[in-house]
Chain A
Amino acid sequence: MESNTLENKTKSIPIKNKGMKAFLKKCKDQQALLWMTVPFIIWVFIFKYLPVWGWTMAFQDFKPALNFSDQEWVGFKHFAFLFTDDRFLGVLRNTLAQSLINLVLGFVTAITLAVLINELSNMKFKRVVQTISYLPHFLSWVVAAALVSSVLSIDGIINEILMGLGLIDDEILWLGIGEYFWGILGAAETWKNVGWNAIIYLAAISMIDQEQYEAAKIDGASRIQRIFYITIPGMKSVIIVLLIMNIGYILEAGFEPQYLLGNGQNVEYSENIDVFVIKYGISMFNFSLATAAGMFKTVISFIFLIAANSFSKKMGQGGLY
């Protein structure tokens, strides 16, 4: 066995050289293109890699007034604080739960909407539906949150409808009950983004060869069957790429809606990592803790992304890279 691998290695050297040569030749042939990427590599380096230097803050008791060499190094103190703090564990739970709800709801609703819109034959109606569905995307969360909170207030429309239908006896203070928060957040996110998210799926659907539908029709496939056997499989590759990308953002459950809709009564369900960072980091000028929490988020996201990608490759679906 051992000798075999050794042999392989020695054998592979000339091939490698050949590969290197081919690589250099390719570089030479495409040198114009390579030069054109240089400015962008510099850009990425300056804006994406240099800031990573700031991560050192997480291992210090950072004081803005002091020079780098004068900072006090404290090792993993801030990480230790995070993972022994009950509150942070709750915050982590909220982040994951909110994110998962958003992920699942976001995908299911956007795909469903895209398929349904695609099935519409009246062009005018189709356009109107699509426009209305993606309009809320352009509202800022500040406005959207004000809308959500007024709809959900005691004398808001939701309470009025439910009371009118006789489904509830007393008005419900929706934002005052922690357990409801995840649901409210998921619904609000869906309302705001479903139309926008559907656009890319509609684009994917439009790439499907129309002849497939005609062939299926001739073979006697019903509308539902056409959706399940042609449309959805046709969108599969787009869905998977988006899923992988979104899993990379699993700890980015968003910040604005949680911050704006959160209050003392639902804090145990609304506070996520980003809100925590603002409260205990930036607002208390504890930049080290904020950096530690942010770093943790990045590392976890990285792991999720790589895992999802390799899982997808193993399943024979091709990955992001």
Chain B
Amino acid sequence: MNRKNVWLVLLLVSLIFVLAACSGDSEEASEDNAENENTETGEDSGETFTYHFFDASGPGEDINTSETTLGQMFEEETGVNFDIEHIVGDVNQKIGTMIASGEYPTLLNAEQSTDAVIDAGGFIPLNDLIDEYAPNLKEMYGPYLEMMKRDDGNIYVISSGAAHGYKKPANLNQGAWWIKRDVLKELGYPEPKTLDEYFDIIEEYTAANPQIDGADTIGFTALTHDWRFFALSNQPMHLAGYPNDGGALIDMETQEAEVYNDKDITKRWLQKLNEVNDIGLFDQESFTQNYDEYLAKITSGRVVGFFDYRWQVGQALNTLQEDEDPYNDYMGFPVVFDEDVKDQYLDPIGFTASPGIGITVGTPKEDQIRIMKFLDHIAKEETQKLITWGIEGETYEVDEDGRYYRTEEQIEETSKTEFRDNFGFSYFEWGWPRMNGEYADGNAVEPPKQEEVASMMYDEGDNEFLEAYEIETFTGLFSEPDERPWYPAYDAPIETGSEAQLYEQQLDDLMKRKFPEIIFADPGEFDNQWGAYTDEFSSLPKEAYEKVITDFVQNKAKLMESSKE
């Protein structure tokens, strides 16, 4: 290569670098220009604005809201649409990376990491925006606005589910002790009330049917994967007659929080599992299977029973519901330790201040206003009806008394995932500003809670079991929830880097390590194993955690009281 050529190559290389550096800049510049133009021309020009919304509440298809019927309607009204991106993988890690880099989407639902984003200054305060631009939102949330305020008096996220009255759900969405219907039918529809009765059913069936469809019968399986470990560690609370308040029991009188992971109720639960394991009814893979394997196992029909929250096993149970055999489905029971304990599996009226959606820092003022106006539009009651019921004449009907109902075809249509996606039900369902309970005209916010809809949702298979247990709906066996104004206690914000946070993480690690050892231990070894666990537990800073929860509970209860007056 002669000298001239070398320089030529060098020139080329530097040119490439210069180009690469410029192209990024110029793109950004042109984007900025476009935005500026938009703001200058104003909203009347019919411009649409697209914002990035990261939704960590669950997996889903990434779409633009305007591709759905509802989103299209909202876009026409407000000129705003959203590119929704759903979470893939672990929420904490994804949000942690966002915080570390300081790069946020415009609208963010950070799910369980909401507090961390607030601590990191990732959200802007919404108080003034709500005051100025969101009259409907203010009306819908009413007393809850006060509860959404953090210690510094600012509202950072708008959460879903402002309760307007209580409606008992027709179908379970919360925790229950599930048993395969086939088993119930074969044993003459027994109704387990206590933990012992529940496992007796499993034992009796498994002894008579060691195999299902050629594969070994699994008596009882548990979900323990990753952050879902609570599906195994929450039971003592439920069995003792408490609703899902998280990691502590709240005394109804004193409103004091007390952790239960080292208490007798936990010991009793583990002891039962230890016994169950000893007679070969506990799934040996409970601690090694991941979430997908767990769902696959339930779908396979080999599992006699399991405890879980309906929303967590929804995928599996929906699949079973859709196939032909109604006996493959599972039925949930409110099991407790002793006959005289009142079960509390159905959630009381509650309000969670986090998670919710918030606008992130760095969003220009005009965009903040547009987004707030969009959220306010969603908070109108007529929009709420669109989101939950759909369009009159298409997805629901109204009778002469003003009651909403759905025809059989509409029920079938609106339960199809594809339809829900296209219509936008799936994307506006939860997470956005939402009401709960009843509309002003007395109709249920959610169609499945409307008696007219609920009674038609059951097929022959369902009816067989409803009749056998002499109930109207599948929640018929469950007690009405007691009033718990603080509910849920797990909503308490836990500060990043605090002792309370350390307690949660260390407890989680400890339980994940020790529970398998305790459950799989030889029954004679149980007490030793339990002792070893409680020894280690005693060194955890549980007081710090209890204090955070107690303060939160008492404060929230006080707020609820004052809002009633």
Contact = CB atoms under 8 A, between A and B. Distances in A.
A232 B48 CA distance: 69
A252 interface: no
Interface in B433-476: none
A284 B100 contact: no
Contacts of B10: 32, 35-36
A63 B509 CA distance: 25
A285 B90 contact: no
B96 interface: yes
Nearest to B516: A265
Nearest to B120: A64
B512 interface: yes
Contact of A32 (B3, B14, B92, B113): B3
Given A64-B102, A267-B513, A285 B116 contact: yes
A155 B505 contact: no
Given A64-B99, A264-B513, A283 B90 contact: yes
Nearest to B92: A283
Contacts of A285: 92, 96, 99, 113, 116, 119-120, 496-497
A22 B161 CA distance: 78
Nearest to A175: B288
A88 B497 CA distance: 18
B93 to A, nearest CB: 5
B141 to A, nearest CB: 27
A237 interface: no
A295 to B, nearest CB: 16
A264 B224 contact: yes
Of residues B496, B497, B512, which shows the largest number of chain A Cβ atoms within 10 Å of its Cβ? B497
Contacts, number: 97
Contacts of B90: 283
Contact of A173 (B215, B288, B512, B513): B288
Contacts of A65: 119-122
A175 B497 CA distance: 32
B288 A64 contact: no
B284 interface: yes
Interface in B340-375: none
Contacts of A35: 10
A284 B96 CA distance: 8
A282 interface: yes
Interface string B91-105: 011001101101000
Interface string A259-274: 0000111011000000
A268 B513 contact: yes
B13 interface: yes
Nearest to B515: A264
Contacts of B516: 176, 264-265
Given A282-B96, A285-B99, A285-B496, A173 B285 contact: yes
B93 A283 contact: yes
A63 B120 contact: yes
Nearest to A267: B513
A299 to B, nearest CB: 22
18 contacts: A32-B3, A32-B6, A32-B10, A63-B119, A64-B120, A155-B215, A173-B284, A176-B288, A263-B225, A263-B512, A264-B287, A264-B512, A264-B516, A282-B92, A282-B97, A282-B100, A283-B93, A285-B120
- Name the 10 nearest CB pairs between A and B, nearest first: A65-B121, A264-B512, A283-B92, A64-B120, A32-B6, A282-B96, A175-B288, A285-B116, A265-B516, A285-B496
Given A32-B3, A65-B122, A153-B293, 16 more contacts: A36-B13, A39-B13, A61-B497, A149-B293, A173-B284, A265-B288, A267-B509, A268-B513, A280-B505, A282-B92, A282-B97, A283-B93, A284-B505, A285-B120, A285-B497, A286-B497
